[in-house]
Amino acid sequence: MCAVGLSYQVSRPKLKGSSVYIAEDTAIDPNVVTPGAVGFLATIFVAVVTVLLVWDMVRRIRRQRYQAEIEAKLDAEQAAAGKK
């Protein structure tokens, strides 16, 4: 084997049983490496911000629709008053 192929095989993670071995002497337990409380809080934060953004967007769209309806009614009233 060449030196490049050998270094690739050594640095590549290998699965042995339930643990992932990065090097021959280093084992990572998948039960210990978890997102934990910080990951949970970050997920909750993203979910809450998404809900608030959608709520605000719906409110703004509704407001624009009501303004368009009012403008249409006023235009219709002005057109009717102009014909008389």
Do 5 and 25 lie in one domain? The reply is yes
Do 44 and 76 lie in one domain? The reply is yes
| Domains identified in the chain, total number | 2
Q: Give pLDDT, residue 25.
A: 67
Q: What is the pTM of this model?
A: 0.53
Do 20 and 60 lie in one domain? The reply is no
Phi and psi at residue 28, to the nearest 5°: -115, 120
Do 48 and 10 lie in one domain? The reply is no
Q: CB burial class (10 A; 0-12, 13-18, 19+) of residue 69?
A: exposed
Among 1, 26, 25, 23, CA closest to 13: 23
Do 79 and 64 lie in one domain? The reply is yes
By residue range, what is the domain housing residue 25? 1-33
As given in the structure block, the two tokens for residue 14 are 């290998």
Instruction: Quick: pLDDT tens for 3-62.
Output: 554 444 555 555 555 565 566 667 777 777 788 899 999 999 999 999 999 999 999 999
Do 39 and 27 lie in one domain? The reply is no
As given in the structure block, the two tokens for residue 81 are 């008053």
Q: Give pLDDT, residue 23.
A: 65
Distance, CA of 69 to CA of 83 (rounded, Å): 21
